[in-house]
Amino acid sequence: MEATPIGDTLNTFVRDPLFPNFPGWADLTDVFTNPDAYDDAWPVVCWDLGAIVISIVGPIMEEFYFRGYLLPHIVGPPVVVVAGGVVLFAVYHIFSIWMVPVRIIELIASQVSLVVISRKGI
């Protein structure tokens, strides 16, 4: 299998230390190094699954966290509890500096996908 500089770096510094038991069947390195060996539909399936996770599963888990865990752990009278929950929810959504790298990667990936789709005529 052909190696890529970015993939090797990510595997060495991120995947291997954080996820040492990462199953081999979930390794997508070959998809990026040998894309012609795969069906043309796999990017569409990946984007569809990503959209489902981002738009449905993410908000559900967020609600479980804020309403199911965080809100019951705020101590005080009901007004303080509700106001505290509102403030924390707003701060979480306004100050999302940690999302900047994700948004940049998403922007690059979407542009690359558009180029691939336009060249292959999908």
Nearest to 84 by CA among 96, 98, 67: 67
Q: Is this model's pTM higher than 0.95 or not?
A: no
Torsion 94-107-48-27 (CA) sign:
negative
Q: What is the pLDDT of residues 7-58, one digit of tens each?
A: 677 777 877 888 888 887 777 777 777 777 777 787 788 888 888 888 888 8
